[in-house]
Amino acid sequence: MIIAVIGYIMRIVGPCFCIGFYYLMLRHTWVFLTIICPVLRKRLGVTFGLIWTLIGVVITYNVVWNHMLAMCLKPGSPKDLIVSPALI
């Protein structure tokens, strides 16, 4: 009985964590692009400001892409990444 209750709780908590994660990513990205980027441009100049903005966008893209693939791919997938025992 307790295991079934824990299973139901986990089914609710998992999507809540995903929604919370994407909300935090959206919020941090919005703050970075609207508040921090203008300050970077004023303090570092246009070139270094754009470089840091590009770095922030690349990191955000990487984190979201990796999280999305971790949610979508099942363990052991894709099959072409599995090393065959003959090659070891």
Q: Is omega for the bond preceding 38 within 30 degrees of 0, making it cis? A: no
Q: 53 near 37, Cβ under 8 Å?
A: yes
Residue (of 64, 61, 55) closest to 36 by Cα position = 55
Q: Where are the domains of the chain?
A: 45-69
> pLDDT tens for residues 25-50?
999 989 988 998 889 889 989 898 88
Q: Look over the chain and give the mean of its residue pLDDT values, rounded to a whole number.
A: 85
pTM over 0.95: no
Give Cα separations from 87 to 78, 80, 82, 83 (angstroms).
18, 14, 11, 7
